[in-house]
Amino acid sequence: MGGRALLLVAGLFVASVGDRFADIAFALHAAETGSSALLAAILLASAVPEMLLGLVGGVVADRHLRAWWWPAALAVQAAVLIALAHLHTPWHLVAGVALNGSITALLGPVGSKLLGALCRGREERAARAHTAATGAAAVVGTALGGVSFAAGSRGTLLVVAGCALLVLAVCAAAVARGAVIARAAPAGRASALLGFRRLVSPAVFGATGALCTVGVLLGTSVEAVAGVFVLTGFTGMGPGGYGPALAAWSAGVAAGAALAGGWARRRAAMPVSAMAMGAAIALPALAPLPWAALAAFAVGGLANGVFNTALATAIWTRVAPAEHGRAWAAFRWTLTACLLTGHLLGAAAGADGARALMVCSGTATVLAGAAFLLARLRTPGGEPAAAP
């Protein structure tokens, strides 16, 4: 990876840490006020713009983007977060999150598209670096965010999150010099749904691969809601063990990406890692052993790191660069839909149904991964050809 790509990954890492600060600020503020409705409203304000505008954002990234748009948008988002640090009414918070969510939806695929352009021919290294940075940011951001909230206030967390976005804005302005993005400007179709067609094509994931990806995204989304009840109750870890379990998963993501190596390009990488993740989600709900749950989450994180690396590598190498924006927009839209579905399922199941939901979710992910692996083993020939 070149210096410009490393600078962009560093900026994305800092911004990811800031995202954790913002998430903790909003969640703990809702907890302090005793308003679950506020937390739900914030979640919807963040997710709904992606569902409505995310696919349009892919078209913007592929056909209309200018080099200065993304840094300028990041600066606006930073200003919104810093302003929210001094505004305390619920409608201010929800409106600010909705505004930032809309900006992210319209320009969200730009970071991935730009990183792919900077690492043309070295996509696997870019995928490993980005995935490892995201996993490390989850550990660092959660740890520092929790300490900062205990020592300070919601306002401090939001100011830090805003400053993190400004760091990314500076990095983006430094690397997104016109030619990098302009070369990706495509000719031809502008369909917002093109990204879905590319992802389900045999050259990228195929139908079974897309199903496997949805299973992984939905499984991890369910775990985010149901896991707290299973880990703190059924496994006997207690509230004090929940944080270490999440940290083990996030650290595993970083380690899995770093260790993936050339295996991320192999046909079995995604299905096998998906099966391991599914088993890691289901196991804590089957065995009431704290050490087993912690070990399962560490292994699940390692598999998650490999899966994310293989997924990003496939999109960057199997989809034409002129269509990267729409491909990443389709993936982000699917991710958001799975997050919303997983949260709704977890909320509906409640504490009493959390174990059954995690077992079903993990099992479904294992089966989806097995179907994907079988489909790939049955496909004659070598690896799919890279996009031109």
- For the stretch 213-250, pLDDT in tens is 999 999 888 888 888 888 888 888 877 777 788 889 99
Mean pLDDT on 111-139: 87
Give the model's confidence band at 36: pLDDT under 50 very low, under 70 low, under 90 confident, else very high.
low
**Closest to 221 measured CA to CA, from 354, 98, 36, 346:** 346
CA dihedral 278, 273, 122, 120 (to 10 degrees): -50
**Residue 179: pLDDT over 60:** no
> Can you tell me the mean pLDDT for 72-96?
90
pLDDT tens digits along 144-175: 776 766 666 778 889 999 999 999 999 988 88
Question: Which residue, 140, 112, 104, 115, is CA-closest to 17?
Answer: 140
Specify the DSSP class assigned to residue 62.
Answer: I
Average pLDDT of the chain?
85
Q: Check if the beta carbon of residue 374 is closer than 8 Å to that of residue 212.
A: no
The angle, 0 to 180 degrees and rounded to 10, between the axes of the packed helices 154-175 and 69-84 is: 170
> How far from 262 is each of 202, 224, 276, 369, CA to CA, in Å?
21, 30, 19, 20
Structure confidence at residue 367 (pLDDT): 93
Q: Evaluate if residue 35 carries a pLDDT over 80.
A: no
Residue 190 has pLDDT above 70, yes or no: no
| Closest-CA residue to 190 (of 103, 61, 312) | 61
> Of 362, 258, 272, nearest to 309 (Cα)?
258
Could you give the CA distance from residue 365 to residue 337 in angstroms, rounded to a whole number?
Answer: 16
- What distance lies between CA 120 and its chain's CA centroid? 22
